[in-house]
A and B are shown apart, each in its own frame.
Chain A
Amino acid sequence: MSGHVSPKSTYYAIFGALMVLTGVTVAAAFVNLGTFNFPVAISIAITKATLVILFFMHVKYSSRLTKMVVAMSFFFLAIMFGLTLTDYMSRGWYTSPRGSTGAGTQVGVSANPPARTETAPAAVQEPAP
Chain B
Amino acid sequence: MAAHADSHGHGHVHAHHPAHQHHFETMEQQSEAATLGMWLFLVTEVMFFGGLLMAYLLYRVWYPHAWSEGSLELDIVLGGVNTVVLIGSSLTMALAVRAAQTDQRRATIVFLILTMALGLTFLVIKFFEYKHKFDTGHVPGPNFHFEGPDAPQVEIFLSLYFALTGLHALHMLIGFGIMSVILWMAIKNRFSHEWYTPVELAGLYWHFVDIVWIFLFPLLYLVDRSHHFA
**In their complex, do chains A and B touch, with some C-beta pair under 8 Å?**
yes
Interface residues of A (CB under 8 A from B): 1-3, 5-6, 8, 11-12, 14-15, 18-19, 22, 25-26, 29-34, 37-38, 41-42, 44-45, 48-49, 52-53, 55-58, 62-63, 65-66, 69-70, 72-74, 76-77, 80-81, 84-85, 88-89, 106, 109, 111, 113, 116-117
Cα of A55 to Cα of B83 in the assembled complex, Å: 18
Quick check: B207 and A44 within 8 Å, CB to CB?
no
Contact status A72-B43, CB under 8 Å: yes
Q: Which chain B residues (50-68) contact chain A, with CB distance < 8 Å?
A: 50-51, 53-54, 57-58, 60-62
Tell me whether A77 and B142 are in contact (CB under 8 A).
Answer: no
Are the C-beta atoms of B35 and A66 separated by less than 8 Å?
yes
Q: Is the CB of A76 within 8 A of B47?
A: yes
Given contacts A73-B43, A106-B62, contact A85 B57 (CB under 8 A): yes
Q: Does B175 contact A (CB under 8 A)?
A: no
**CB-CB nearest in chain B for A31:** B226
**Number of contacts between A and B (CB, 8 Å)?**
142
Instruction: Indicate whether A73 sits within 8 Å of B47 (C-beta atoms), given known contacts A18-B87, A88-B61.
Output: yes
Give which listed residue, A52, A73, A80, contacts B210 with CB less than 8 A: A52
- Give bound CA distance, A22 to B83, whole Å: 8
B211 touches A19 (CB 8 A): no
Sampled A-B contacts (22; CB under 8 Å): A1-B195, A1-B197, A3-B101, A15-B90, A22-B80, A22-B217, A25-B222, A26-B76, A29-B225, A32-B228, A41-B219, A45-B214, A45-B218, A45-B219, A52-B90, A53-B207, A56-B91, A63-B32, A69-B40, A81-B57, A109-B152, A109-B153
